[in-house]
Amino acid sequence: MASEKEKMLSEKAYKASDKDLFEERLHAQKTCFDFNNISPELITERHDLIRRILGSVSSEFYIQPPFQCDYGYNIHLGNHFYSNYNLTILDCAEVRIGDHVMIAPNVSIFTAGHPIDATKRNEEWEYAIPVTIGNNVWIGGNSVVNPGVSIGDNTVIGSGSVVTRDIPSNVIAAGNPCKVIREITKADEDFYFKDRRF
């Protein structure tokens, strides 16, 4: 018979109150607590600590505390990853993030969900669906990425967005629910460099 962890990782209904899952979450919480409370100038020590629970991470990344996650081992960060204050990742399923991704303050990434039916919800069932974020993505502040979402390469998610479905590559998307506003074009590059000192 499959364990609750095996069910969780295979997108089946499971119970997070399982003893082994509780212990794994407690370990991640303790590691995040230590990470969040290291003195700000001790960046190397801080990142050495968080590497211990993350599934995979490049040599170049920066996570600005505070940071919270459920397990850690389901989080995979690409090269040159940056997140600002208050990133929360509920990684009951895999969260795969590409290279050169920037995340603004107060962003939440959720893989976990609960039944719509109150009876099943009260029985403590939940489910988890992976999230994928491509390369060169920028997610604006106070945004939420929901279970099962995929965000394509080079895309910008506007502040305050609630991403409930897949967003393609090379677009600006925003809103609640998050929708594509327009494609990113050469004019966007020219606009930011015109009469500016970069």
pLDDT of residue 194: 63
Look at residue 59 and tell me whether its pLDDT is greater than 90.
Answer: no
pLDDT range class, residue 192, cuts 50, 70, 90: low
Which phi and psi angles does 61 have, rounded to 5°? -155, 160
At 154 the three-state DSSP class reads coil
Q: Which domains does the chain have, with CATH numbers?
A: 8-193 (2.160.10.10)
pLDDT in tens, 33-58: 999 999 999 999 999 999 999 999 98
pTM comes to 0.94
pLDDT of residue 195: 56
Look at residue 191 and tell me whether its pLDDT is greater than 80.
Answer: no
pLDDT in tens, 78-131: 999 999 999 999 999 999 999 999 999 999 999 999 999 999 999 999 999 999
**100 included as an active-site residue:** no
pLDDT of residue 189: 78
Look at residue 61 and tell me whether its pLDDT is greater than 60.
Answer: yes
Look at residue 198 and tell me whether its pLDDT is greater than 50.
Answer: no
Of these residues, 27, 80, 100, 114, which one is catalytic?
A: 114
Q: E strands along the chain, which residues?
A: 14-15, 61-63, 67-69, 75-77, 81-83, 87-90, 95-97, 102-103, 108-110, 112-113, 125-128, 131-133, 138-139, 144-145, 150-151, 156-157, 162-163, 171-174, 179-183
